[in-house]
Amino acid sequence: MRTIFDTLTLEQLRTRTSEKWRHYPADVLPLFVAEMDVPQAEPVIRAVHDAMVRGDTGYPNGHGLAEAMAGFAATRWDWAVPVERSRLAADVMVGVVEVVRLLTGPGDAVVISPPVYPPFTTFLQHAGRHIVHAPLGVDRRLDLDALDYAFGRASLHGRRAAYLLCNPHNPTGTLHTADELAAVGALSVKHGVRVVADEIHAPLVPTPDAQFVPTTTVIPDAIALHSASKAFNLAALRAAVAVPGPEATDLEDWPDPVADGVMHLGVMAQTAAYTDGGAFLDEVLAGLHHNGKLLQRLLEPVMVWEPPQSTYFAWLDLRAFGDDPARSLLKDGRLAVNPGATFGVEGAGHVRLNFATSTAILTDAVSRLTTVLGGAGHGHVPGPQRGPGPERGPDVSGARPG
């Protein structure tokens, strides 16, 4: 089957100048950062082109992006987004930091669930927040006991605290269920910890039997961050929408400098994506569904792996193949993936591989991987089986995890 990911050749992709295609030398196959190997959606191309032709390159105005996102949310998730109470930010991580600043003070704690998107740690530390870990369980789902303990520590002596939830979870693709979110909500009430949900990957659920549950529909005082940038490959045209739950009034204090940092071109591109990009997104989802199955088959000779519930990341447990498989894959296979340890110590011995790419590239990538691991390995890997590996594996790349 040919999918949207088979539209562009490797040669065409190598003309791109973004992080994915320029961080490593040209003999390295880059399956690391969260960029997709797809052509851009026609409605987005038209919106950006028309804006440039109009010279429409001033400052953003109005609720257009929030309205477009609300329309998308109503159609895809039957979720009524409160447009008037939502706020814009330059991108999701800027939005996350600003929401955390509204909910907590300097030196207060924010709980995260590693292995998780590495900028959760770096951005929060940069914002002067103390990080408390509540790692995912071995089943790659939220560990409610760990959260209970972490929330207790974070809110000790009545301090303000927040939980930065990743829903869906990067890198595992875990979709949190309504029951899990309700349990998190109960813990947040018990400890007075506010929930901030990064929902940037929410549109990327390629399997019909899996369902994204918007956090604020279950936890009424949570605040969620959304963007079209992952699902529509728009990291170059960033924008984000902060959506408050029905009981969250905090965004009334959204600071002007944050609202002023929003890029008009990003707003227009993302508005077009949310409004008219449905057919493109459906092609992406069909392609991801196909790629997940393809990758599963390709990996069979070396390991048992199942496609994730969401996102385009394969979180591969390669602990049986040495402590730093990403380094071996880069050095010996010229294949760039994200080292698992950069997502937290729990990720040591794992790698994150981005499968939003063509059949040809994926096939080449797995051939490189099996060749390298065939030399390093202990055979077939049925699942987690060895100890957690080293405290921290070196980041072989210094590259963005995306």
Q: How far is the CB of 221 from ligand PLP (least distance, A)?
A: 21
By rule CB under 6 A, what string of x and - marks binding of each residue 170-199 to ligand PLP?
Answer: x---------------------------x-
Span of 149-157, 177-185, 203-211, 230-238 interacting with ligand PLP by CB under 6 A = 230-238
Q: How far is the CB of 99 from ligand PLP (least distance, A)?
A: 13
Please identify, using beta-carbon distances, which residue of 230 and 350 lies nearer to ligand PLP.
230
Spacing of C-alpha 150 from chain mean position: 23
Q: Residue for token digits 């040669």?
A: 11
Per CB under 6 A, the list member of 20, 194, 238, 368 interacting with ligand PLP is 238
For the segment 257-296, give every residue that binds ligand PLP (CB under 6 A): none
Q: How far is the CB of 31 from ligand PLP (least distance, A)?
A: 14
For the segment 13-52, give every residue that binds ligand PLP (CB under 6 A): 34
Six-digit token pair at 291?
């790629």
**Using CA atoms, how far apart are residues 308 and 301, in angstroms rounded to an integer?**
19
For the segment 73-132, give every residue that binds ligand PLP (CB under 6 A): 91-93, 117
Please identify, using beta-carbon distances, which residue of 202 and 381 lies nearer to ligand PLP.
202
Please identify, using beta-carbon distances, which residue of 175 and 200 lies nearer to ligand PLP.
200
**Using CA atoms, how far apart are residues 367 and 258, in angstroms rounded to an integer?**
46
* Pairing assessment for the beta strands 193-198 and 223-226 based on DSSP bridges: parallel
Q: How far is the CB of 89 from ligand PLP (least distance, A)?
A: 8
Query: CB within 8 A of 131, min separation 6: which ones?
Result: 109, 110, 111, 112, 121, 124, 125
> Which region, left, alpha or beta, applies to residue 278 given φ > 0 means left and ψ of -120 to 50 means alpha?
alpha
Span of 67-75, 178-186, 225-233, 330-338 interacting with ligand PLP by CB under 6 A = 225-233
- Dmax over Cα atoms in the chain, in whole Å? 61
Please identify, using beta-carbon distances, which residue of 172 and 188 lies nearer to ligand PLP.
172
Per CB under 6 A, the list member of 132, 235, 329, 351 interacting with ligand PLP is 235
Span of 99-107, 222-230, 300-308, 359-367 interacting with ligand PLP by CB under 6 A = 222-230
Please identify, using beta-carbon distances, which residue of 140 and 319 lies nearer to ligand PLP.
140
Query: CB within 8 A of 53, min separation 6: which ones?
Result: none
- Residue 402 sits in the site that holds ligand PLP (CB under 6 A): yes
Q: Residue for token digits 């039957």?
A: 78
Per CB under 6 A, the list member of 197, 224, 240, 243 interacting with ligand PLP is 240
Q: How far is the CB of 119 from ligand PLP (least distance, A)?
A: 7
**Using CA atoms, how far apart are residues 52 and 381, in angstroms rounded to an integer?**
52
Q: How far is the CB of 231 from ligand PLP (least distance, A)?
A: 11
Please identify, using beta-carbon distances, which residue of 235 and 295 lies nearer to ligand PLP.
235
Please identify, using beta-carbon distances, which residue of 108 and 198 lies nearer to ligand PLP.
198
Q: How far is the CB of 173 from ligand PLP (least distance, A)?
A: 11
Please identify, using beta-carbon distances, which residue of 119 and 152 lies nearer to ligand PLP.
119
Q: Which residues bind ligand PLP (CB under 6 A)?
A: 34, 91-93, 117, 166, 170, 198, 200, 227, 229-230, 235, 238, 240, 402
